[in-house]
Amino acid sequence: MAIDVVITCPLGSTCEEIVDGKIHRCAWYTEMKGTDAQGEEHNDWKCAMAWMPILQVEVAGTQRGVAASVNSMRNENVKRQDLALKAMNEASTDARIIKP
């Protein structure tokens, strides 16, 4: 036997309700549209507080990708700097270069 789960607002409010022919919507009730990793489009409404953990995981993944890119660029710059220093050292032993 499955137990039903009822999610309630910790602030004691409803996200959206119709009163007197008007929609009363909480300011935190947010629509998110996007495409997942499999290419499926999603369009969901949830409380902004419910979206926070999902968005934090997404941001953390993006930051890992940025950190990897920055590290790769740093490694490439170090290689090029080492080559430039090596070329300068070899050139400085050349007798044709006038030293001050």
Please tell me whether the overall predicted TM-score, pTM, comes out greater than 0.85 for this model.
no
Give dist(CA 46, CA 52) in Å, integer. 10
Per-domain boundaries in the chain: 16-92
Note the pLDDT tens digit of each residue in 21-68: 898 888 899 999 988 889 999 999 999 999 999 999 999 999 999 999
Q: Predicted confidence band at 14 (pLDDT cuts at 50, 70, 90)?
A: confident
pLDDT (0 to 100) of residue 9: 83
Give the largest Cα separation in the chain, rounded.
93
